[in-house]
Amino acid sequence: MDDHDTAVLPGWTQQKRPPAWNKRFDFADYAQTRGFLDGLTALSETSGYYPNLNFARTHVVVTISFDGDEAGPRLRDFAREADACAQRIRG
């Protein structure tokens, strides 16, 4: 898979207009949700990318938007790191 294409990573869905990837992360309770949000904050500050987030008590929907036809390696890495963060939070 080319890191410069829009191929969706496992568990992520692709939105056509505007081009983006979306994923819902479910958690057992608010403490886990908050831990994930804190992890995403740190990831965003490190990477310089800030996704759109929608959240409730036990879930977070992450939307990674990209311009044109390419997601690029930076956004693909962000999605992978978000997945890893969720796994760490869930234990």
Q: Kindly give the confidence (pLDDT) of every residue in the chain, 91 residues in length, as a single tens digit, with 9 standing for 90 and above.
A: 344 455 678 999 998 888 999 999 999 999 999 999 999 999 999 999 999 999 999 999 999 998 765 678 889 999 999 999 999 999 8
- 91: tokens are 């234990």
Q: Is residue 4 part of a domain?
A: no
Q: Is residue 53 part of a domain?
A: yes
Give the pLDDT of residue 2. Answer: 40
User: How many domains does the chain fold into?
Assistant: 1
- Per-residue pLDDT, 71: 78
Q: Residue 11: inside a domain, yes or no?
A: no
In this prediction, residue 1 carries a pLDDT of 38
pLDDT of 68: 67
Nearest to 89 by CA among 42, 22, 20: 42
Tell me how many degrees the CA angle 34-22-72 measures, rounded to the nearest 5: 110
